[in-house]
A and B are shown apart, each in its own frame.
Chain A
Amino acid sequence: MSQAFLIALIAHMLFGLAGIVAFTSFLLLLSRQEWNDDRLRRYAGIGFVALIVAWVSGGYYYTTYYGKSVKPIIIEGTYPWAHQVIMEAKEHAFLFLPFLALVLWIVAWQAGKAFEENEKLRKAVILLTVVTMIIGSAMALGGLVISGSVEKRSLQPTVRSYGECVNAGYPVMLSYPSACRIPDGKIFIQPVQ
């Protein structure tokens, strides 16, 4: 994995988590009877920016690296459903998050004192925040399952014969008949004509 993909993956995970934490703080503040408008705006702003960074970095990683390098490993591994079900669902549900976060930020920015006077508005925003947090948490859990399905052994080329072992670049022993050994200790003997 190149440095850019590495940074994109780490940013996706950390900023996604930061977004959820920011909106949790937003929800707690909003649910109190005495709240601070500036802090509400700040938390919603941090949440929105964090989810945008998670969205862009995750999107970049997904479109340029995941499909050709990670997806085949998962599909050939023990848990192919991690891609077929979870990633397929995640890539669609994931699209909602920045827009929900943007709505919350705009409302936090515009409403201000209106939250104190309009109980209906406050409850609607609380509900929208809870929905955003549920989707965000589901994304994090999905990411956990997908990450767990990436198996190291799947990266090794499938070797079934001496020829395939040599072609894969594994060490060949100086013996007669010659033998080739793969990392798990299995030895393939060169067929003698």
Chain B
Amino acid sequence: MEWYTLLKFAHILGTVLGVGATTLAEIFTIKFAKSDDLSPTEHYILQTCYSVIRWGLALLIFSGFGYLIIWRLNMAGPELFFNSRFIAKITIVGILLFFTLLMNLKMIRMELGSAIAITSWYMAMFLGIWRSLQWSYLVFIAFYVSALIVIYFLLDYLRKRPARERT
């Protein structure tokens, strides 16, 4: 198998694991919010999702670096490296890593962290798939921030909904 194919496979697998496990973690968090405390089983399910997210993230980053190595060896130059879509993707993955670290260090609220995580994973996937999209960097980031705000309030609404139903 060619290096490029192997990297592509790893990159797609990393994205699939990351996006899938982040989505599931969010769905389970909303479902489990119905009770005040997490049961050991619920805790175990969420830990499993977080573990899959970590593996997905590691695969995504190492395969992403592999791409960079191939681009550098082929001297792909500014056309690929300084492309607005690529820089936006790097920025979003950087934000995802930074806030994942802050969440692990318990330095930000989980509600904000999970909204950033799910928006970043979907946005990175969207940028990876839609290669013909040629917006400027600022438009990509403005779209990301807008999506983040919408998702934050949407998740907040979904989390609070069972509590309102209980009363």
A-to-B contact residues, CB < 8 Å: 1, 6, 9-10, 13-14, 17, 21, 24, 27-28, 31, 77-79, 144-145, 147-153, 155
Contacts and interface: CB of A to CB of B under 8 A. Distances in A.
Contact of A144 (B73, B74, B90, B104): B90
B61 interface: yes
B69 A149 contact: no
20 contacts: A6-B73, A14-B69, A21-B58, A77-B77, A78-B78, A79-B82, A144-B68, A145-B81, A147-B68, A147-B81, A148-B76, A148-B77, A148-B78, A148-B80, A150-B77, A152-B74, A152-B75, A152-B76, A152-B77, A155-B75
B65 A17 contact: yes
Contacts of B77: 77, 148-153
A24 B101 contact: yes
Contact of A28 (B81, B90, B104): B104
Interface residues of B, number: 21
Q: What 9 A-B pairs have minimum CB-CB distances, sorted nearest first?
A: A148-B81, A151-B77, A147-B72, A152-B75, A31-B105, A150-B75, A28-B104, A148-B82, A17-B65
Interface of B is mostly: helix
Nearest to B86: A148
A147 B67 CA distance: 12
B75 A151 contact: yes
Contacts, number: 57
B78 to A, nearest CB: 6
B28 interface: no
Interface of A is mostly: helix
A132 to B, nearest CB: 14
Given A6-B73, A79-B82, 4 more contacts: A1-B73, A28-B101, A150-B77, A152-B74
Interface of B: 58, 61-62, 65, 68-69, 71-78, 80-82, 90, 101, 104-105
Contact of B81 (A10, A14, A144): A144
